[in-house]
């Protein structure tokens, strides 16, 4: 699944930015302040066109006019975010995810500093070094959450993209007299709108 990550380090009008990104993809996930993920599957184009459409959507947003933003593309959310943090326009080809994240520091996993310190005691400083550890013994020593860390250190993130809910704005109305006893009566009246 091609995922574009828009990374806006500082933004006070985040909802406006997310609304602008709706112009590039119908599926936009709010990844937290300054991070948005866009599903590009089914949208015509290639990596360059997808990144250009996201940039165009952001440049058309008044709230973004003075903001620095970075746009990247990868096959999953974790790698796309790492790519956006590393530089604007970064594209990580499918199958190259592990290679891309390998030199990154453990901090890329947003781990508790105490866990990072424990890993450093074992000589693990990068995601590549973490990925090289045998999965079973690593998870046994560090607990169930470490399975996710190990997968991400290998460039794998199976977390599905969860589109943000959109409020439906209704700008039509219908006035009438009487009451409706059943839901079907209301639905029938709404069909005429």
Could you state, in order of their start, the residue ranges of all structural domains in the chain? 1-92, 95-159
Helix/strand/coil for 10: coil
Q: In the prediction, which pLDDT does 10 show?
A: 65
Q: What is the CATH number assigned to the segment(s) 1-92?
A: 3.30.70.270
- What is the tens place of the pLDDT at every residue in 95-152? 999 999 999 999 999 999 999 999 999 999 999 999 999 999 999 999 999 999 999 9
Q: In the prediction, which pLDDT does 9 show?
A: 66
The span from the CA of 129 to the CA of 28, in Å, is: 33
pLDDT range class, residue 62, cuts 50, 70, 90: confident
Is 95-159 in the same CATH topology as 1-92?
A: no
Cα atoms in the Cβ-side hemisphere of radius 13 Å centred on 30? 12
| Average pLDDT in the chain | 87
Q: In the prediction, which pLDDT does 1 show?
A: 52
The span from the CA of 106 to the CA of 114, in Å, is: 12
pLDDT range class, residue 169, cuts 50, 70, 90: low
Q: What is the pTM of this model?
A: 0.81
Cα atoms in the Cβ-side hemisphere of radius 13 Å centred on 34? 12
Give me the percent of the chain exceeding a pLDDT of 90.
52
CATH H-level, domain 95-159: superfamily:
5' to 3' exonuclease, C-terminal subdomain (1.10.150.20)
63 CB-near residues (< 8 Å, 6+ apart) = 11, 12, 13, 16, 17, 20
């Amino acid at each position: 699944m091609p995922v574009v990550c828009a990374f806006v380090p500082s933004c006070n009008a985040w909802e406006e930015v997310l609304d602008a990104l709706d112009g590039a993809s119908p599926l936009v996930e709010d990844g937290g302040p300054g991070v948005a993920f866009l599903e590009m599957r089914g949208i015509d184009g290639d990596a360059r066109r997808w990144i250009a459409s996201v940039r165009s959507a952001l440049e058309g947003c008044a709230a973004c006019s003075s903001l620095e933003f970075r746009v990247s593309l990868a096959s999953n959310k974790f790698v796309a975010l790492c790519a956006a943090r590393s530089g604007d326009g970064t594209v990580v080809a499918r199958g190259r995810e592990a290679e891309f994240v390998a030199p990154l520091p453990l901090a890329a996993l947003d781990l508790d500093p105490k866990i990072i310190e424990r890993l450093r005691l074992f000589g693990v400083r990068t995601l590549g070094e973490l990925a090289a550890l045998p999965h079973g013994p690593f998870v046994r020593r560090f607990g169930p959450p470490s399975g996710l860390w190990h997968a991400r250190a290998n460039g794998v993130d199976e977390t599905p993209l969860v589109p943000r809910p959109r409020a439906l704005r209704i700008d039509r109305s219908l006035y009438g007299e009487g009451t409706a006893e059943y839901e079907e009566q209301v639905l029938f009246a709404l069909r005429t709108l």
